[in-house]
Amino acid sequence: MKPVGVIGIGRYLPDHVMTNHDIQAMGLDTSDEWIRERTGIEERRIAAVGQATSDLAYHASVQALESAGITADDLDLIIVATSTPDYFLFPSTACIVQHRLGCTRPIPAFDMSAACTGFNYALSAGAQYVASGAAKKVLVVAADLLSKFLDWTDRSTCILFGDGAGAVVLGEVDPGLGIIASDLFSRGELAEILYAKEGGSRNPISMDNPTRPLVSMEGRAVFKVAVNTVVPAVESVLAANQIAVSDVKLLVFHQANLRIIDAACERLGFTPDQVVITLPKYGNTSASSIPIALCEAVSEGRLSRGDLVVLVGFGAGFTWGVTLLRWSC
């Protein structure tokens, strides 16, 4: 198996900033103080009316390709992790991205659905192609545009999410660098603590059911399950690879709630200088939150070649995943 790692990275956030004050001004019974205290979020980015998920994914991908020093025609595979595809049936958002990037080769392109754990899942899948030799360069994009699927009258969900995209290019790297472990999990019996009830084949939109898919969540349950699942998963991947918490340069958590990150870090023993936080600016951007945070850490000079990084995802499904890697850019 070939060593596989990140050889390029990019991110994209829509221009429009929606603050907590803006949400309150929409008539919701909430406050900036409540949202900051309970979540850590101060503002989030909201996509323009005409923007679709592939548009966000495209911009992040262009940056990732540039940073890898390759063109779209050097890619052998595109995977898009998203829960908010451009089209609910087909085609996949990955096919739209392939076209927008100007890829002239008919390479495979597909979407992956693992909600906020989507980046960990897609990274793992993409890495297998490179490790086996089936592909040389794989574009893994995580993009979500949840603002169009929020109930803007539900103060317990709409305050949490924002739109965004992050992308990486995977390729063969020097021995000793790249992805060391990718542990992925699911517990389907918890599906309904975070889901969109309407609009799929279970409850299709019809003349009798003129609704649309909107995020519905049992916030407290999600909070508890998140902390109780990711903590042992991180402990186990570190133990299996004989890595101490102090050896890890950066811990990139899915950005869902600052209190979740704080609780998990306290139990695991990570210090604040090891943790990347983008929640105040962007809120929860679902699958894209990890690559966006990783990209920000890289642009701030917080990572050097060879540094150990832990990526921790969790979300609807219920799914969770931990990726351990040695930075290879």
Candidate list 3, 10, 118, 315; residue touching ligand COA; CB under 6 A:
315
- Cβ atoms 93, 111 nearer than 8 A: yes
Q: In the chain, which ranges are E strands?
A: 4-12, 16-19, 43-46, 77-81, 109-112, 138-145, 163-172, 178-186, 194-196, 215-217, 250-253, 308-315, 319-326
Task: By CB under 6 A, tell whether 63 contacts ligand COA.
Answer: no
Active-site residue, selected from the candidate residues 103, 116, 265, 295: 116
User: How far apart, in whole angstroms, are the C-alpha atoms of residue 14 and residue 301?
Assistant: 23
Task: By CB under 6 A, tell whether 39 contacts ligand COA.
Answer: yes
User: How far apart, in whole angstroms, are the C-alpha atoms of residue 91 and residue 206?
Assistant: 21
Candidate list 155, 249, 281, 302; residue touching ligand COA; CB under 6 A:
155
Residue 254 falls in the annotated catalytic set:
yes
Number of C-beta neighbours around residue 110 at 10 A: 15
For residue 65, give the amino acid letter: L
Task: By CB under 6 A, tell whether 256 contacts ligand COA.
Answer: yes
Residue 209 falls in the annotated catalytic set:
no
Task: By CB under 6 A, tell whether 21 contacts ligand COA.
Answer: no
Find the shortest distance in angstroms from Cβ 132 to ligand COA. Answer: 31
Candidate list 122, 222, 268, 310; residue touching ligand COA; CB under 6 A:
222
| DSSP track, 30-81 | --HHHHHHHH---EEEE--TT--HHHHHHHHHHHHHHHHT--GGG-SEEEEE
> Which positions from 171 through 200 interact with ligand COA, judged by CB under 6 A?
194
Candidate list 2, 36, 38, 249; residue touching ligand COA; CB under 6 A:
38
Task: By CB under 6 A, tell whether 19 contacts ligand COA.
Answer: no
- Tokens 């990711």 — which residue? 230
Residue 99 falls in the annotated catalytic set:
no
Active-site residue, selected from the candidate residues 254, 257, 265, 295: 254
* Bridge partners for 183 per DSSP: 322
For ligand COA, the binding residues (CB under 6 A) are 30, 34-35, 38-39, 116, 155-156, 159-160, 194, 217, 219-220, 222-223, 256-257, 284, 315
Residue numbers annotated as active site: 116, 254, 284
